[in-house]
Amino acid sequence: MKNVLIIDYGTGNLKSVHNAVKKVSEKQDCRIFVSSSIEDLKKSTHIILPGVGAFESCLNGLIKTKARSYLEEMVLEKKKPFLGICVGMQMLATKGFENGEFDGLDWISGEVKKINNQNNNLKIPHMGWNTLKFLKETAFTKSLLKKMKVTNLHDLSAYFVHSYNFKNKNTNEKVITTCYGEEITAMISKENIIGTQFHPEKSHYFGLAFLKTFLEQR
Amino acid sequence: MLKIRIIPCLDVDAGRVVKGINFLSLRDAGDPVEQAKAYSDEGADEITFLDITATHQKRKPMIDVISKTAEKCFVPLTVGGGVKNIIGIKEFLLAGADKVSINSAAIKNPSLINESSKKFGNQCIVVAIDAKKKSKNWNVFINGGRVDTGIDAVSWAKNIEKRGAGEILLTSMDKDGTKSGFDLELTSKISSAVNIPVIASGGVGCLKDFFDGVKLGGASAVLAASVFHFKELTIKQVKKYLKSKNINVRIDNLGKYYEK
């Protein structure tokens, strides 16, 4: 039995994430909770932190739920599979620089900085489907690619919409990147923690396969 | 590389897809949920719903349509039409829309753009411009193309960007439904005036029109309705064509994985 918790902290496209998780867990023994209650957090087997909006307001929203210490216990101590999406990944950083300088959760060392618009030659936000570059093979990516039965990695793309880039410190935690004027961190991974800048819930078949792979993590 | 987005648009009236010419004489074109699903399976990069005759009584079927579509389409969904305030935006988002497009309300109360993009994030707020040529310039029209505001479309576009919108959905009223191609002059003027993505809309009739919208109009995304609804062109065809012209589009063959 899986208990998937989608953390509700007053922001984010929860419905889309919920719909996509529901789709990939159709034939499984799986319950989905959209909540920030400590009780639901404690019984969760998989935790998803969605994120849409500004760094600071998302972080404040999360802090207001009072679930932070329980969340850290579940993820950092009990090592439950965790997926942060978009700002939900950015919040894991040491610091964020969106409309000021703010402390993040500091689960993954790095800073979140505005994408360089290359002297106004790039439209910001970085919005749309962009090609993924797999930097290394992990157990996760292996299982993901097997699921999609693809051998050619050049044609995979995912849906992005963001103006800030997670510049993580340890390059070995970076798994997928994409390019938009600069190198954009698309997926990071550290032990049981996964973060994606792209939106798997909006990345059609690739995104569904990604979420399915996440649900298989233990 | 970032890909050019191909967006089929479903003009919805009381829960059905319709299509008009120059914003008039509507024809029934099918069930929106089924169509949206078919489009996303075929490779649409996003789906847009416009409630073109939005009135309060018709809001209910629209909410149903959004929520049913969101359950079946795993690509971004933009919804617009009849949005008056923050509550209206929130209603659509809660039903499963990823972005909400505002038009008349943004003209009547421009601070709605600031408030909503701050509250829901810039990426969430699309401002639609319906523009019609007046001698040398283009004027912004509202109320489904019925009222000329006298506002210049290019300066409005800059204003929209400054206020925090994430994207502009630009429709040429002169071209809409005529199948004679996008208004390239208008598209290119707006697209070079702002630093946010511009979706070109209104007038697509053939494959080359898509190419021109991107290459000559400078659009980040191209939107079309009738050519897709009446199956004159398929999304696959458009993407294949654009790729052959060296335009970056998303083509993958992952469909088999979920087709069961």
Pairing, β B24-30 against β A110-114? unpaired
Q: Chain B partners of A23 at a C-beta cutoff of 8 Å? A: 71, 74
pTM of the model: 0.93
Is B251 in Cβ contact with A208 (below 8 Å)? no
B120 touches chain A (CB under 8 A): yes
Q: Rounded to a whole number, what is the distance in Å from the CA of A78 to chain B's nearest CA?
A: 31
What is residue B8's DSSP assignment?
Answer: E
Is B220 in Cβ contact with A209 (below 8 Å)? no
Is B5 in Cβ contact with A129 (below 8 Å)? yes
User: Taking 70 as the threshold, does the pLDDT of residue B24 lie above it?
Assistant: no
A13 vs B240 pLDDT, higher one:
B240
Hey, what are A112's tokens?
A: 């979140």
Neighbours of B247 (CB within 10 A): 16
B200 touches chain A (CB under 8 A): no
The boundaries of the domain holding residue A79 are 2-215
Residue A87 phi, psi (nearest 5): -65, -25
Hey, what are B205's tokens?
A: 């009739």
Where are any strands of DSSP class E within chain B? 5-13, 16-21, 24-30, 47-51, 77-80, 99-102, 125-134, 137-142, 147-152, 167-172, 198-201, 221-224
B221 touches chain A (CB under 8 A): yes
Instruction: Name the burial class of residue A194, with classes exposed (0-12), middle (13-18) and buried (19+) by CB atoms within 10 angstroms of its CB.
Output: buried
User: Who contacts B10 (Cβ-Cβ below 8 Å, separation ≥6)?
Assistant: B17, B32, B35, B36, B47, B48, B49, B50, B225, B229
A212 touches chain B (CB under 8 A): no
Read off the pLDDT of residues B51-107 as tens digits, 9 standing for 90 and up: 877 666 667 778 888 999 999 889 999 999 889 999 999 889 888 899 999 999 999
Average pLDDT, chain B: 89
Residue B255: band (very low, low, confident or very high) from pLDDT cuts 50, 70, 90: low
Edge to edge, what strands does the sheet with A193-196 contain? Answer: A30-35, A2-7, A46-49, A82-85, A193-196, A182-190, A174-180, A133-134
Residue type, B40: S
Query: Residue range A147-176: average pLDDT?
Result: 89
Among chain B residues, CA nearest to A206: B254
Question: What's the per-residue H, E or C state across A119-135?
Answer: CCCCCCCEEEEEECEEC
* Residue at token pair 């349509």: B65
Is A156 in Cβ contact with B167 (below 8 Å)? no
Q: What is the pLDDT of residue A54?
A: 80
B148 is catalytic: no
Please tell me the distance from the alpha carbon of residue A15 to that of residue B127, in angstroms, as a whole number. Answer: 22
B51 is catalytic: no
CATH code assigned at A119: 3.40.50.880
CA distances from B30 to A124, B8, B35, B59 (A): 35, 14, 7, 18
Please tell me the distance from the alpha carbon of residue B191 to that of residue A32, in angstroms, as a whole number. Answer: 42
B135 touches chain A (CB under 8 A): no
User: Taking 50 as the threshold, does the pLDDT of residue B260 lie above it?
Assistant: no
As for how many domains chain A has, the answer is 1
Strand (E) or helix (H) holding A187 = strand A182-190
